[in-house]
Structures are given as structure tokens and as C-alpha cells.
Amino acid sequence: MSLSDISRFSSGSLDDLAKGKRAVLYEELAEYFYLFARRGALRQSSVQQEIDYHIGNLVLVSLYFDVVLIQTATIFNATDPFVRKVADGVLVHPKFREMLDANALKIVGWGGNTPRDMFQAAEGFSRSAADSAPNADRFDAVASVFNSQSTVSRTSDQPDADIDVLFRNRLEQTTIIRRPEELAAVNSALEKSMEKTGQLVAVSFNPELNKLELSSQGADAVGVSFIQSWHDHLTSEIPGVITYAPLTNPVFVDQKVVVSQSVIRSFLYSPQIFASFLGGYLRAKDFNEILKRPYSDLMVVKNGDWARFVDAYHEAIEVVSSNVGHLTHAELSADQFGQDSTWATNISAAVDSSSDQADVNAFIESLAMLSGLIFSIPFLGAAAKSVGSLFGKTVNQTFHTLRQNATLEISPFINKLLRHYQLEGVRA
């Protein structure tokens, strides 16, 4: 294997990067999401559809974060042919490369402080973790992504130990797998998978899990517990970097992350939520137009107005999180959406108390989008629709009126985005 194209110059430090910028870890491309949360995509989608999905997500998160991070493990710890093709397609996508060049996206690795060290560490680990060694040609093809500008070093040591402890804790909390013999079987599969690397890794754990005769519901519970344990670990292991929980499973609504000493529901940082928010300003073809143009065009409009927009959006996430904090997928009930809903009352109070803020309209827009989104989240939809009239009176009508009265001037950045790309917008 040729490593001649990989830079020997030192990369920046993740600690230094996280201190001065809003950073987000993009894990949806990781194989464990496909194995445990998005397995339906393997049957119902195509490689190109998945590539487009991830590229769209990356562009979206870059609109409200300073830098998007993808781990070397996400790229190399993939054994499923479908997932590997998707990852490779994302890596060679022009938009991905443009984001790297613009420093809006970086690869984060371990094993040293140069791309060469991190690349070799990732290759060695993936070969030891997987049952079948990846094709060496794939590493050659991916090597061109790695240079000192496009990578950041997380640590020189091999990180991510003791995730199995978090996994066992999560698994014990599930209400689906309760029989002792089932838990013992999962634990045995875990021990066997860890004999290869000493760590809990999806590419070695999943084959052992597939050997068990668990029900589909039980297997899903194990997979969700696996993902949650990784999020628990990453949240504490990489402070200053957001790891969000995408809306791929109901229980992810309970995932939390600490930001500026505030506990926030991490799914609120997902691009699905932001796409819903952005839908108040842009049509689908508008966003497609943004994707068609070089990413450098987008960087042109990310200036002072953009910084104020990002501040307003993140502030909205914090406030919205505090107002939906009582919602859990297990405790959801119709009376929570009634006329005396605590959530509705708190949101109304938040709007009133925020009326003197400079960018309050962007804040209100966020709340409006999220209140409407309740009806589009599958696991909330049934409960919400059962009391739809009351829910509409308490929340949606109020924010629908606010939203209709808003103008494009509520966000100079959005307005500038529309002008720069010559987009129609929803109010065209």
C-alpha cells in the first residue's frame, strides 16, 4: 500500500479547535447507524440516495456549526459492502472535498499528530477488528483525503476504552430484554467480540450478535443500547464537540448533551430539525440549488450576519430543550398536550420574556418550526393527533400567526442567502 500522498506534517489539535469554534461530530455515516438504527436503508435505498443524504446533511450542519468532524473510525471501520460504497462515495464527492478545502469539515483521528500516523492507526485497528481484512486498494483511494489541513488529532493513544461498561448499563435499563438468559447471551457475544481489540466495536460485535437467536425486537433493543452507549461516551470523552442523536429511533429523543453547563436534548441539533426550521424560508428546489453550486459560494455569505444567525439558532435550541425536557417516549400521554400543557405554557412565557432580544424573531421561528414538527415525528404523531384540536389551540395556532407575520428581514443571513443564490423562498 502506498502512503506517499499522506502528509507527514502535524495536524491541529482537537482540543484547540473545540475551544474556539462550535464543532459537531457527524456519526450518521458510521456503520453502526446502518446496522442498528437505519438497517431499513439497506433494503429501501440506493448507494447514490444515501450519498446524497449524507452530503445534504453535512451542508446543513455546516450552516449552524463552525466545523463538522468525521472520525477516521467512521470511514474505515466498515465491513458491510453497501455502507462501504456509501462512505467511499461521500469521500470523493466534490462537495465533500470543497468543504475540506474551506475548513468547514475535518477528519478527526488518533494514533499520532500527523495524517500519516492517524491513517496508519485507523488502518491497523480496522484490520484487527473486522473478520475480513478490508481491500488495500480502498485505503489507497481514501489516502488522498488526508493532509495536515483537513485533519485534526484527537489523541496519540488509542481512545474509547470502557464503552462496554456503558453498554451493559444501557442494556440493563431496557424493558424489552428481561430474561436473564438473553442478557447472558448478549454479554457472551460482547466478550467474544472484545477478544479482538479489547474494545466494543460494531464491526466485531455485530457478527457475534447475529449468531444469537434474539427476536427482532430484542436485537433492535441491543442495537439502540449500543448507539446510546457510544453517544454517552463521546459526550463525555470529547468535551466541546456536539454529538447529536438523529431522529432514527424514538428513544433517541431522550439522549442528552451538556452545552455551556446546560443539559440539552441532543436530537435538537440534528440536520432533520434544522431542515424543518429552514423549510420556513426555503423551498426544496432552493436547497437543491445551494447543493449544485460550489461550497465556496456558501462561504462567501458566512460572515457577521451568519454568526448572529448561528447564535440565535443555538440559543433557540437551548430554550426549546428546556421546554420539551419533560417529554419522554415512554411517558408520553395525551394530557401533556392538553389545554393546561406545561410545555405550551413554558413556550408562551419564553416568547414573552424574550421580546426584547435583538434577534427574537429567529428565536420564535425556531419554536414555531419545532412545535409543528411534533406532527411529523412518527412516535409523537399518534399521541399528538389524538388531541390534535387542543394541541393546535395551545401551541400551533399561536406560532402559526407569529410565523405568518414574520418577514425575511428577521434574519439578515437568510435574506443574504436568498439574494446570493437568487432563490425564490417560500414567500415568493
From CA 203, how far away is CA 78, in angstroms rounded? 7
Counted residue by residue, the chain has a size of 428
From CA 399, how far away is CA 395, in angstroms rounded? 7
From CA 240, how far away is CA 21, in angstroms rounded? 9
Query: Interhelix angle for 360-373 vs 342-353, to 10°?
Result: 170
Beta-carbon contacts of residue 19 (< 8 Å; ≥ 6 apart)? 240
What is the pLDDT tens value at each position of the chain, 428 positions in all?
A: 344 557 778 888 998 888 888 999 999 999 999 988 888 777 788 999 999 999 999 999 999 999 999 999 898 888 888 998 999 999 989 999 999 999 999 999 999 988 888 888 888 888 888 766 566 677 777 767 778 889 999 988 888 888 999 999 888 887 677 678 888 899 999 999 998 888 898 888 999 998 998 888 888 889 889 999 999 899 888 888 999 988 777 778 778 888 888 888 888 898 887 887 777 778 889 989 999 999 999 999 998 889 888 887 887 777 667 666 655 554 433 344 444 455 445 545 544 554 443 334 444 445 545 545 444 444 443 333 333 333 334 444 444 444 444 443 456 888 889 899 999 887 54
